[in-house]
């Protein structure tokens, strides 16, 4: 229940901030263009709070925080007194209307810059993207790893941590190939003599983001710190909990064999679905004997395996692997602009790949997934929550630019037609477009919600 409430609260905060930024863009430019704004609402439904400003605008905070709107004076919607016709949206030039409508998505992009600026100003703890192996049968199997190698660029785009690597890789889904630039982990700063470029054939590269990352799907073995024989987490209602295993227990032996590695331990558990196994653990200096029966579950390939529901403790990352993405007051702005541009480019590419079929509609996420992401990022701290806000803000801006008549992009499409034809698109045509756009948007939202429930 706590996780649900935390995710919900984080979701409401995130959505409220992003919607406010989007609608303020419309509001601000409309006012600058001389349009009278009648209502500025955050949320839909009954008003929880309202205030009439000195400018005559009604400011509303509504009960359903799933959107917002700016109601402008418009002769197409209501009757407008002759004395106020010059303040109506529809009386403004087509370029003014384009500016007002485009201001929402632009505000989302600007908000992303601001969020990332403070994120880089605070500093982002990161880990260098180092690989120590490749996986047979995958696109990267042609790379022969003899020592730990750091990924420093993906198709010419510099990367510094795993988040940037994943973002760069995702943009190449559906492409015929991509290039990885690797460097020895122990290289001196500025020394490029050991750098190696590898061209990978990615025509058959596919991955399910619910099951694996683009890194492992490509066949790259991520270098990780050592795994300690200490239990760090025990799942609720798991076989381990039922057997009395506790956080902090040190694994000594399983079925009479001394513990050698976490990998071997997992293999023995997985090979014993429904069969009781004997564990010897050390707890507060004393050895204890526990009998645990792994629960039988199906893996991704449909095989029956045993699971007991524990996670091991990892050794800390060595200092040579840690980096801090932190900038000064001036440099942080440049980094934020560059990062926002990367997010915009990747988002546009993903939309294109979605419609081309290179990316499955199963990858669409809805409000449940967004709420979980908001809660997780907020749990990790402010710097990660700011990064999450920036990502969702960019995506909100991109979605609103899609040429669907119910979205800002659809209105912009009509206005561009008006620019070239020098007359507005007939209202009958607009009405048909709105209905088509609403149906398509509803279908996409339904698919996203279905995917959300399937992931629960």
Q: Is residue 207 part of a domain?
A: yes
Q: Is residue 400 part of a domain?
A: no
Indicate the range of 120-124, 270-274, 403-407, 417-421 predicted with least confidence: 403-407
Residue 288 has pLDDT above 60, yes or no: yes
Q: Which two tokens stand for residue 199?
A: 């061209």
* 181 and 321 together in one domain: yes
Find the mean pLDDT for residues 352-379.
Answer: 60
In 362-426, alpha helices (H): 367-380, 382-400, 408-421
Residue 90 has pLDDT above 80, yes or no: yes
Catalytic residue among 23, 164, 297, 418: 23
Q: Which two tokens stand for residue 165?
A: 């690597």
Max mean pLDDT among 76-85, 293-302, 414-423 falls in: 414-423
Give 340's pLDDT tier (boundaries 50, 70, 90). Answer: very high
- State pLDDT tens for residues 99-145: 999 999 999 999 999 999 999 999 888 888 998 888 888 888 888 88
* 131 and 189 together in one domain: yes
Q: How far apart are CA 60 and CA 44, in angstroms?
A: 9
Specify the pLDDT at position 116: 92
* 153 and 201 together in one domain: yes
Closest CA to 219 of 125, 131, 308, 99: 131
Residue 188 has pLDDT above 60, yes or no: no
* 129 and 269 together in one domain: no
Specify the pLDDT at position 359: 64
Find the mean pLDDT for residues 261-290.
Answer: 89
Q: How far apart are CA 38 and CA 333, in angstroms?
A: 35
* 162 and 297 together in one domain: no
Q: Is residue 424 part of a domain?
A: no
DSSP E strand stretches across 255-317: 257-258, 277-283, 286-292, 295-298, 304-307, 310-314
Helix (H) or strand (E) holding 313: strand 310-314
* 138 and 205 together in one domain: yes
Q: Is residue 241 part of a domain?
A: yes
Final residue of a domain: which of 303, 325, 347? 325
Over the chain, what is the mean pLDDT?
83
Specify the pLDDT at position 322: 85
* 218 and 243 together in one domain: no
Provide the 3-class DSSP secondary structure of residue 372: helix
Q: How far apart are CA 305 and CA 353, in angstroms?
A: 35
Specify the pLDDT at position 447: 64
Positive or negative: CA dihedral 345, 348, 349, 350: positive
* 283 and 147 together in one domain: no
Q: Is residue 381 part of a domain?
A: no
User: Cβ(130)–Cβ(185) under 8 Å?
Assistant: yes
Specify the pLDDT at position 449: 61
Give 356's pLDDT tier (boundaries 50, 70, 90). Answer: low
User: Is 23 annotated in the active site?
Assistant: yes
Long-range contacts of 352-355 (CB under 8 A, 24+ apart): 353/173, 353/174
Specify the pLDDT at position 110: 95
Specify the pLDDT at position 166: 85
Specify the pLDDT at position 348: 83
Specify the pLDDT at position 285: 87
Final residue of a domain: which of 294, 325, 356? 325
Find the mean pLDDT for residues 335-355.
Answer: 84
Q: How far apart are CA 161 and CA 165, in angstroms?
A: 6
Q: Which has the higher per-residue pLDDT, 440 or 132?
A: 132
Give 174's pLDDT tier (boundaries 50, 70, 90). Answer: confident
Q: Is residue 450 part of a domain?
A: no
User: Cβ(139)–Cβ(218) under 8 Å?
Assistant: yes
Residue percentage of the chain with pLDDT more than 70? 87
- Residue 399, sorted as left (phi over 0), alpha (psi -120 to 50) or beta, turns out to be alpha
CA distances (Å), origin 396, targets 102, 336, 369, 401, 440: 13, 18, 15, 9, 17
Q: Is 265 exposed, middle or buried (0-12, 13-18, 19+ CB in 10 A)?
A: buried
* 321 and 296 together in one domain: no
Q: Is residue 273 part of a domain?
A: yes
Q: Is residue 15 part of a domain?
A: no
Give 172's pLDDT tier (boundaries 50, 70, 90). Answer: confident
Provide the 3-class DSSP secondary structure of residue 237: coil
* 321 and 205 together in one domain: yes
Q: How far apart are CA 331 and CA 209, in angstroms?
A: 33
Helix (H) or strand (E) holding 72: strand 58-72
Closest CA to 112 of 345, 320, 269: 345
* 154 and 187 together in one domain: yes
> Which residues constitute the domain of residue 243?
227-314
- Residue 274, sorted as left (phi over 0), alpha (psi -120 to 50) or beta, turns out to be left
Q: How far apart are CA 256 and CA 278, in angstroms?
A: 7
- State pLDDT tens for residues 228-260: 889 888 888 888 888 888 999 999 999 888 988
Split into its structural domains, the chain has a count of: 2
Final residue of a domain: which of 302, 325, 348? 325
* 177 and 244 together in one domain: no
Specify the pLDDT at position 190: 52
- Specify the CATH number for the domain of residue 306: 2.30.42.10
């Amino acid at each position: 229940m706590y996780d649900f409430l935390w995710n919900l609260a984080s979701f409401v905060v995130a959505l409220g901030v992003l919607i406010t930024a989007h609608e303020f863009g419309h509001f601000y430019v409309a006012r600058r263009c001389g349009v009278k704004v009648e209502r500025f609402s955050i949320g839909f439904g009954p008003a929880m709070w309202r205030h009439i400003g000195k400018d005559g605008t009604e400011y509303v905070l509504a009960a359903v925080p799933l959107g917002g709107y700016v109601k402008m004076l418009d002769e197409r919607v209501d009757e407008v007194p002759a004395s106020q016709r010059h303040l109506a949206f529809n009386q403004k030039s087509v370029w003014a209307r384009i500016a007002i409508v485009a201001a929402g998505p632009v505000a989302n992009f600007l908000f992303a810059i601001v969020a990332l600026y403070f994120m880089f100003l605070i500093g982002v703890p990161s880990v260098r993207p180092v690989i120590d192996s490749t996986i047979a049968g995958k696109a990267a199997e042609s790379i022969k790893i003899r020592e730990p190698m750091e990924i420093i660029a993906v198709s010419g785009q510099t990367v510094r941590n795993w988040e940037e690597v994943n973002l760069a890789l995702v943009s190449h889904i559906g492409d015929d190939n991509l290039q990885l630039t690797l460097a020895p982990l122990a290289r001196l700063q500025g020394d490029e003599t050991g750098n190696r470029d590898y061209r990978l054939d990615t025509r058959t590269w596919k991955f399910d983001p619910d099951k694996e990352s683009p890194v492992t799907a490509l066949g790259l073995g991520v270098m990780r710190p050592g795994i300690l024989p200490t239990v760090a987490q025990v799942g609720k209602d798991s076989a381990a909990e039922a057997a009395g295993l506790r956080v902090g227990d040190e694994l000594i032996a399983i079925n009479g064999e001394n513990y050698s590695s976490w990998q071997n331990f997992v293999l023995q558990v997985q090979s014993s679905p429904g069969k009781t196994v004997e564990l010897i653990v050390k707890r507060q200096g004393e050895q204890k004997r526990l009998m645990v029966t792994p629960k039988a579950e199906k893996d991704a390939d449909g095989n029956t395996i045993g699971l007991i529901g524990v996670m091991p403790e990892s050794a800390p990352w060595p200092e040579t692997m840690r980096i801090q993405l932190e900038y000064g007051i001036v440099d942080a702005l440049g980094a934020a602009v560059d990062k926002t541009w990367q997010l915009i480019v990747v988002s546009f590419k993903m939309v294109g790949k979605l419609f081309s079929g290179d990316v499955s509609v199963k990858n669409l996420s809805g409000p449940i997934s967004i709420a979980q992401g908001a809660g997780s990022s907020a749990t990790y701290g402010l710097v990660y929550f700011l990064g999450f806000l920036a990502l969702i803000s960019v995506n909100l801006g991109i979605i609103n630019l899609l040429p669907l008549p119910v979205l800002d992009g659809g209105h912009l499409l009509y206005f561009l037609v008006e620019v070239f034809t020098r007359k507005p698109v007939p209202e009958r045509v607009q009405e048909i477009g709105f209905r088509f756009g609403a149906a398509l948007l509803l279908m996409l939202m339904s698919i996203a919600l279905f995917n959300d429930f399937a992931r629960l």
